[in-house]
Amino acid sequence: MNWVSMLALIVSATLVYSTPLIFTALGGTFSERGGIVNVGLEGIMVMGAFSSVIFNLTFADTFGAATPWLAALVAGIVGVVFSCIHAVATINFRADHIISGTVINLLAPALSVFLVKAIYAKGQTDNIAQNFGYFTFPGLAKIPVLGPIFFKDTSLMAYIAIVVAFIAYWVMFKTKFGLRLRSVGENPQAADTLGINVYRYRYAGVLLSGFLGGIGGAIFAQSIAGNFSVGTIVGQGYISMAAMIFGKWNPIGAMGAALFFGFAQSLSIIGAQLPGISSIPSVYLQIAPYILTIVVLVLFLGKAVAPKADGTNYIKSK
């Protein structure tokens, strides 16, 4: 293997594994910037993965190659519906955010596997016929060296994810919506006094996290897993949450962290093909993202960086 094809392998594997993390971590930033801690990202990804696979299996003949894209959209909508549970519980019903998120994480695998069993009478779906596959950028792929590494047989969704991250940054820091969302997460009383509807913006944050988390799950299912079972999403939601924290609740930071975690995850898969890496026991690569998150939290972040009212319920006075 020459070094160009080796780099191409690493880059494309990194991109494929990062994409679901990027979408979900971006979702997390919206929710937490609005002041709602969303541990339920894991569960939302499960529902996204589940619904996209069901949609894909059912409509692959009708929509052909467009199926995975439509399925991702459907998964986003399912994510929004599912995140409503978390939103209602935390925003209106004053539930503890972490308990409510944990309920989401307990409910999602149970509900989805129950539905799979009810629909297909077995615990695991068939493999999907249409997946995201690989994409070659016309023209760009011809650039010497860089072309084969970045633009040939790569993941189109990953580039979309990166663009979405920049859009998310723009929305959060350059628009009125973003300013209000952040104010609601920093100091809801002050925001309320200024006439901002705290509950509405918190809903917007949580539902956006449901949409992006659902898409994240759909991308994982349709580009990596290929089917749905109880073992499809194991910890990706938590890694996304870690990426969000690692990225200091900033969309672009979260994207960078997600790329890094995707790289670490892909190494444990493709490591066997790479000289040098193949001699490291894969367990070190598997646990690296988790250990790193803890180290980063301890070394670089105190408790001061999170949005100030993150995780607290706001009770409007009469």
Partner 1 sequence: MLKVSQRTRQILVPLISILAGFLIGAIVMLIFSYSPLQAYGSMIKGSLGTMASIGETLRQATPLIFTALGFSIANSAGFFNIGLSGQALAGWVGSVWVALAFPNLPTFILLPLAIIVGAAAGALMGAIPGFLRAFFGTSEVIVTIMLNYVMLYSSTYMMQSVMPKSFRVSQDATKTISSHATLHVNWLSNMFGGSRVHFGLFLALIALVVVWMIMKKTTLGFEIRSVGLNPYGSEYAGMSSKKTIIMSMVLSGTLAGLGGVMEGLGTYQNFFIQTASLSIGFDGMAVSLLGSGSALGILLSALLFSVLKIGGLGMQTGAGVPFEIVNIVIASIIFFVAIDYVIGLLFKQKKAEKAIPETPIAVETTEIKQDEQEGGRL
User: Per DSSP, what are the bridge partners of residue 154?
Assistant: 135
Asked whether the beta carbons of 11 and 149 are under 8 A apart, the reply is yes
Amino acid letter, 221: A
Q: Which of 75, 92, 96 is nearest to 84 (CA)?
A: 92
Shorter beta-carbon distance to partner 1: residue 114 or 170: 114
Shorter beta-carbon distance to partner 1: residue 99 or 146: 99
For residue 211, the 8-state DSSP code is H
Asked whether the beta carbons of 302 and 55 are under 8 A apart, the reply is no
Q: Applying CB under 8 A, does 21 fall inside the site for partner 1?
A: no
Q: Give me the 41-60 binding string for partner 1, x by CB under 8 A, dash otherwise.
A: --------------------
Nearest distance from C-beta of residue 285 to partner 1, angstroms: 9
Segment contacting partner 1 (CB under 8 A): 135-143, 176-184, 272-280, 297-305? 297-305
Shorter beta-carbon distance to partner 1: residue 188 or 247: 188
Render 146-206 in DSSP notation, one character per residue.
HIIIIISSB-HHHHHHHHHHHHHHHHHHHSHHHHHHHHHHH-HHHHHHTT--HHHHHHHHH
Q: Which of 233, 194, 251 is nearest to 31 (CA)?
A: 251
Q: Give me the 119-158 binding string for partner 1, x by CB under 8 A, dash otherwise.
A: ----------------------------------------
Q: In b/e form, how buried is each residue of 55-79, taking b as 16+ CB within 10 angstroms?
A: bbbebbeebeeebbbbbbbbbbebb
Residues 237-296, interacting with partner 1 (CB under 8 A): 238, 241-242, 245, 281, 283, 286-287, 290-291, 293-294
Residues 179-238, interacting with partner 1 (CB under 8 A): 188-190, 192-193, 230-231, 234-235, 238
Which chain residues interact with partner 1 by CB under 8 A?
39, 85, 89, 93-96, 98-100, 102-103, 105-107, 109-111, 113-114, 117-118, 188-190, 192-193, 230-231, 234-235, 238, 241-242, 245, 281, 283, 286-287, 290-291, 293-294, 297-298, 301-303, 309, 312-317
